Structure 1
Amino acid sequence: MDQTPVIVPPVIVTGAAGFVGCHVAERLLERGETVIGVDVFNAYYDPALKEARAARLESRRGYKTVRMDIADHAAFADLVKTSGARRVIHLAAQAGVRYSIDNPFAYERSNLAGHLSVLEACRHAGVEHLVYASSSSVYGERPLNGDGFRETDPADHPVSLYAATKRSCELLSQSYAKLYGFPQSGLRFFTVYGPWGRPDMAYYGFTEKMLKGQPIEVYGEGRMARDFTYIDDIVDGVLGVLDHPPAAGGHELYNIGDNDPVGLMEMISTLEAALGVEATKIFLPMQPGDVPATFANIDKLRALCGYKPKVKLADGLQRFVAWRRAYAG
């Protein structure tokens, strides 16, 4: 009987030192996968946080960090080919709606050139499934309804450059799946929060200011609503999609959210309770590029893999606050 061990190719995760990327890589390692994490460690926010995330991963067996700009096509294509990877989770991107207004060319390189680089590398290396990050921002400005935003809804009126690049990535992937036959799944993330999160997100920035006794700036006069989704629930969805690729040549889009929009003022009061601090609030108009509300319809993802968010906002913010206190020492 042949006792030769079966060697399972690694999973490549781009943006692995980022918020979602580090959690996805960690869960893959927990289930016995080997992971190659790719990240450029840019200074969009404090690189020390990215280094700390990477250090946690590097302490685990089966993980390797590659410091690389995914838009460097030759280097990334060589990595994919020589690694033997058959699955790629592409999460690297320049995030942030407001940052795109003053730094548009960062989005051209990271989001457009970067995504095209990943597509080319995957199709030449014979990758069997590409899972990539999109965003709820592609839905643009729209009112809340009882059904939520569906993947079949129009997504052709972006209100920010960030949203436009994410929708462009979806169209690029659709064309590559059709032309070259390799399956792809795009994930429209709704507002993600939790431990090891991004400091540019509202809940994180509010926490920092409230702990310092500083006022917080509440945009949209506090009338916005977001489908806040805890990071563990996001990872459940990412891996569920990874494990259920479309047929050859298929391209599918999935909402990943909590399916329960929460008003901004309710989020702030929940955060106040978690911190034991009352915020001093400065109310300001809506900023350019922001949308009034997001609401994920998750029927398609539930049908695919039984996706069901478990962590509600009060519990999730408590976990974030506990992490933040520990991380800050």
Structure 2
Amino acid sequence: MIDVPRRLRRAILLNDLSLVKRIIRNNPTYLRNPDFDDKSNTSLHLAAKHGYILIAEFLIESGHENDLLSRNNDWETPLMLAALAGKEDMGVMLAKRFPECVPYRNKNGLDALMLSCKSGSGTLHLIPTLLNVAPQILTSSDETGNTALHHASAAGELKALRMLLQYGANPLAQNAYSWTPVHYSATPAAEAYFKTLIIEFEKKKAEDAREKKERERQRNAGVRLVTNEETIQGMQVVDDRLRARDDAAIAGLPAPGMDWSPVERRRAMTPTEGRSGWILNADGSRPRAGSGG
């Protein structure tokens, strides 16, 4: 006869809610049921990873998270597994049920927002939910200083890029090696798109600032005509910074105000790369950033 822990895990994997209920009601001590052969993932980890919302809700209502929020050996929460697996509806449910776990990070310093950006999921509901529940994660960074915007860029997730910028992510944020998100662009097309987005949002900021100044002048009864100079300057500053960095990279020189990464002389490591270094092409050049998978 199959033992209770294995039977319960099998029932969850089959998405058999009635069987899960029966097993747990007859064996309440096995509710969390950590799998020591799989990073100590609990029943809720397993349900979250596969997006089985009804089972997850039953586990929670049965007291799965009452004493301690589930985290496996890699410090991952069920929310993190749902985000990484692209189970958006599951992630939204868990973020709303347990908002305190949204800023949690795994052993590599990645939170649910970074994992969602890596997987390319969540642009419809999950990313907005995470940012509304815990706005501070927009500026959070992993072990090497990479923000969610770095991870979205490296993964080539353009929808996530746009959404993060709309919420106010800093496109010029530097990681521990002084690299900005645009340097991790997965393809040349993605890089061009990213730069266009930056200019677009900087233009919007400049326009908003100009309108604010005009309202203040009108309140003070000092109205005057304003040109588009502020807008043009805002666009030009960002464009000049990006152009200087690109020109420096092409020439093989450090960009203004930026030191070279100690682990890579030509371009930045991707946020998802390990410490073993790049595998170079046959001509000795460095491959472009991967998809972050």
Q: State TM-score, norm by structure 1.
A: 0.27
The normalised TM-score by structure 2 is 0.30
More RCO (CA 8 Å, sep 6+): 1
User: Whose Rg is larger?
Assistant: 2
